[in-house]
A and B are shown apart, each in its own frame.
Chain A
Amino acid sequence: MKRDILKHEMVPDHVILSKSKVNKLLKDKNIHAEQLPKIKIDDPVVKEIGAKSGDVLEITRKSATAGKFVTYRLVVE
């Protein structure tokens, strides 16, 4: 009976970023990975997509102001 939470309307799209994309992101923003917003490793979506600690997720969600909005989160313990 388990539902696929990723298909739920209120769960935005989470994608694990590749190493090179992460490096590009950090370089563009001129930041350290620690400065990114965090997401807990026991978050249901993180468990579902199988992300590991240290991964960076690209989250695309609906936005009231911008329509579509892309943000990033670092997976932490």
Chain B
Amino acid sequence: MQLTLAFVMLTGAVFLAFIRLVRGPSLPDRVVALDLLASLSIGWIAIYAIATNQSIFLDVALVLALLAFLGTVGFAYYIAKGAMSWRQT
């Protein structure tokens, strides 16, 4: 019962973040929404591991946290680089 409520709230959160990902007026807005979607996926995996009683799924959450951090850092790096060349010309 509690886990069903947690799944419902996480689904609503993913839906709201996806609306921001589609609507976001600028690229950094979309990156923030994507980062939030990765965080929500980590929470989803943890709740799913509890619901299925399989602790091995927490490995997936750890790898997903690492990849989300790398992706956000890469996006930030290239946004800053793009701004730099845009200002120079």
Task: Check if A and B associate.
Answer: no
Chain B interfacial positions (CB closer than 8 Å to A): none
Chain A interfacial positions (CB closer than 8 Å to B): none
